[in-house]
Structure 1
Amino acid sequence: MSLSSSQADLAYKTVTVAGIVLAMAVGVLVLYFAASAFFILFASFVVAAVFDGAARGLAMLGVPRKLGLVIVFLVTLAAVAALAFFGGATLVTQAGQLFEALREQSQELMSWLAGVLPAGVEAEVEAMEPSDLQTMMPDAGGVVSSASTAVFSVLGGITNFFIILFLAAFVVWQPGVYRRGLVSLFPKEKRARIAQTTDASAHSLRMWLLGEAISMVTVFAVSWLGLWLIDMPYAFLLALQAGLLAFVPTLGALVAGVPIVLTGLSVSPTMALLGLGVYVVIQGVESNITTPIAQRWATSLPPALTLSVQLIFGLIFGLAGFILAVPLMAVLMVVIRMLYVEDVLGGGLDKDGQG
């Protein structure tokens, strides 16, 4: 008994959907059990996208791609070497001092809470250790190497950093080799579409990184200027951690304000209020100026979906999953839209709800 064309089409779509669901389930299992290796690989792709974007910028000035990549590699290595040999010791010393100041301030804050809260709550606060409060705020030592707490071991952090760096260099130097290898894994009739999806995913990742780079630089510059003007201690480090945390959408900006306020409290309540004012200005600039400008070129992701994916990845994979959840989602959204929504379902709904 032969199937009609509609029945055959339905069977094909059913098998395709089941295959996609099965592949996603297997992918999640592999991702869970090999999370460390996966995030190292994905981090190298993110860095490769950064290198590629910088080389494309140089190409707009007439610099050939290969020469542009060499320049980008040398500048990156020079920056790492300069940080390690010239400013590294100073930054580590200041970071230790900042961390100690935050710890002392957290102790004073708990003592103050113990004095103003009701008796029952007061006993619980007095029983808290400083480390308990520290778990609710960012570790100042994690400003420079926070990813190592989740994916990299302390001893292997530097090694993994250079693994990511050199993997990114290999990928971006000959991207066509890896692209052709990936596309060749699919049937011939699907290869053109897979190639389109791969290119669109890479473009989406580059655009997202462009938007984040604009936000990070703006937050760092405005934070440093504002904290310097009010004479906040450790202004550079506080601005640096605020700029780095801007890479983590939604929650990164909220977390960045905690060290600023606590550092201000170590000086005086007035300094804490001034620091809070600077933080409010920073968020105003980012929300009303930087983000709209960045979204003109960069990929815009729904805030609720962004936060949900961050929380899920953070719970399952730790800090590395939390940090890399959004760029990974930017890539997956393109893959799902092109290969599933458009090719399997026939397209999604428009803004008016029409499909």
Structure 2
Amino acid sequence: MGSADMARVARSTLVILLIVGLALLTVQFSFVFLLIFSAVLVATLIRAAGAPFRRVGMGDMPSVFLGLFLILAVLAACGFLFGAQLTEQFTEVAQQLPTAFEQARSLVEQVPFLNSFLTGTPDIQSIMGRAVSFAFGAVGAVTNLVLVIVAAIYLALDPDLYMRGVEKLFPKSEGERVREALSASGQALNQWLIAQFATMLIVGTLIWVGLMIVGVPSAAALGVISGLTNFIPLIGPFIGAAPGVLLALAQGSDTILWTIVVYVIAQQLEGNVLTPMIQKYAVSIPPAVLLFALAALGSLFGMIGVVVAAPLAVVLYVLVTLLWVRDTLGHDADIAEIDAPAPADSNAPEAMKAGSETQH
């Protein structure tokens, strides 16, 4: 074997070892990547809140800080207006759920073919124990939360800086395509978040009003729970409906029936009216892709993985469609098929606007 062949083999071996090493590091530091993406999510929200200030001619830095102040002001206003009521209702829900759970368990035990299922389900003490463990885990996660917020502020202040950094990880000849894909994924994430929060607000309000009319206690808290869990596609509505149905058990069979009707009507309106209207302006992910994303990230990271699974799937879906399906495999996959065109005064970063202009 000549020296040229030996050098080629050595280079190939080093490349393989580098790829394997990067794969192992990715597995070891996967939670760090999850924190990075969480910071990207928060940064997207901050820039979306600062968009109105940029439209009136303010600079990037003032608009970002004003957007952050606007988010904090809205949260503070909600806390001032509804904080005491919601705190009381959440306390009532926490106190009543164990009894409601036991009532539901005793009712299910009367159905013969469900006995085997009940033997495999944890009792309420186990559930409460896990909740306490989660609470202590949440206290320990304050450091990560602060890290995400601080990193999000830096990302929101100068997203183009980090976009250029990612672009330099690829060959120079591919820089324009990488920037275009990053711009499109950022715009898709921005539109998806706005659409999702609009849906959450409407669904939570509908369930709040519906349960209040039906007579279920703590309707406001249950509406907030449903709105928040609606951020998780597919399984979120079922998670959000469980506390309301359990609390309705103590009100009688009629209340249970009407409670289920309220949740079904709200989710049908969300699935058949709101989502089709809103998805005209946001990327639409195939349900099977979302389901596998939820399963994968949920098994790896637990609840936080389930929460970020859908937005992460949106970003990866756009990147794979543009960089792999279109540019590498050569299939027809225009950005317009997966992302609505950004308006001239979009709240996406200026670098994202420049990247999106290259696609047409």
Assess same fold via TM > 0.5: yes
Instruction: Give the Cα–Cα distance (whole angstroms) in 1 for the partners of residues 240 and 102 of structure 2.
Output: 20
SS of equivalent to 1:154: helix
Q: Is the 8 A contact 2:43 2:152 kept in 1?
A: yes
User: Partner of 1:130 in structure 2?
Assistant: 124
Matched residue count:
320
Deviates more, 1:190-199 or 1:161-170: 161-170
User: Partner of 2:330 in structure 1?
Assistant: 346
User: Partner of 1:308 in structure 2?
Assistant: 292
Match of residue 284, structure 1, among 243, 257, 268: 268
In the alignment, structure 1 residue 35 sits paired with structure 2 residue 30? yes
The 1:100–1:126 alpha-carbon spacing in structure 2 relative to 1, beyond 3 Å, is farther
Q: Which runs of 5+ in 2 are unaligned?
A: 1-11, 335-360
The 1:110–1:348 alpha-carbon spacing in structure 2 relative to 1, beyond 3 Å, is same
Residue 94 of structure 1 aligns with an amino acid whose one-letter code is Q
Residue 48 of structure 2 aligns with an amino acid whose one-letter code is G
Instruction: Give the Cα–Cα distance (whole angstroms) in 2 for the partners of residues 36 and 266 of structure 1.
Output: 42
Deviates more, 1:196-205 or 1:265-274: 265-274
Q: Is the 8 A contact 2:48 2:67 kept in 1?
A: no
The 1:262–1:127 alpha-carbon spacing in structure 2 relative to 1, beyond 3 Å, is closer
Match of residue 47, structure 1, among 27, 42, 45: 42
Instruction: Give the Cα–Cα distance (whole angstroms) in 1 for the partners of residues 38 and 333 of structure 2.
Output: 33
User: Partner of 1:3 in structure 2?
Assistant: none
Q: Which runs of 5+ in 1 are unaligned?
A: 1-14, 143-147, 351-355
User: Partner of 2:225 in structure 1?
Assistant: 241
Instruction: Give the Cα–Cα distance (whole angstroms) in 1 for the partners of residues 37 and 117 of structure 2.
Output: 46
Instruction: Give the Cα–Cα distance (whole angstroms) in 1 for the partners of residues 48 and 116 of structure 2.
Output: 54
Structure 1 residue 312: Cα displacement: 2.1
The 1:123–1:189 alpha-carbon spacing in structure 2 relative to 1, beyond 3 Å, is closer
Instruction: Give the Cα–Cα distance (whole angstroms) in 2 for the partners of residues 211 and 57 of structure 1.
Output: 17
Instruction: Give the Cα–Cα distance (whole angstroms) in 2 for the partners of residues 175 and 156 of structure 1.
Output: 29
Residue 311 of structure 1 aligns with an amino acid whose one-letter code is A
Instruction: Provide the identity percentage.
Output: 28
| 1:234-273 equivalent positions in 2, closer than 5 A | 234-273=218-257
Using the size of structure 2 for normalisation, the TM-score is 0.77
CA deviation vs aligned residue, 1:292-323 (integer Å, no higher than 9, x gap): 11111011011122112211221222121222
Structure 1 residue 103: Cα displacement: 0.9
Residue 101 of structure 1 aligns with an amino acid whose one-letter code is Q
Instruction: Give the Cα–Cα distance (whole angstroms) in 1 for the partners of residues 121 and 301 of structure 2.
Output: 31
Match of residue 72, structure 1, among 48, 59, 67: 67
Q: Is the 8 A contact 1:171 1:178 kept in 2?
A: yes
Instruction: Give the Cα–Cα distance (whole angstroms) in 2 for the partners of residues 120 and 253 of structure 1.
Output: 23
Residue 36 of structure 1 aligns with an amino acid whose one-letter code is F
SS of equivalent to 1:326: helix
CA deviation vs aligned residue, 1:37-95 (integer Å, no higher than 9, x gap): 22221111011111222222444466554433222111223345566788656644532
User: Partner of 2:282 in structure 1?
Assistant: 298
SS of equivalent to 2:201: helix
What do you get for the CA RMSD once the two structures are aligned? Answer: 3.4
Instruction: Give the Cα–Cα distance (whole angstroms) in 2 for the partners of residues 94 and 55 of structure 1.
Output: 33
CA deviation vs aligned residue, 1:156-195 (integer Å, no higher than 9, x gap): 3334333322221110111121112222232221212211
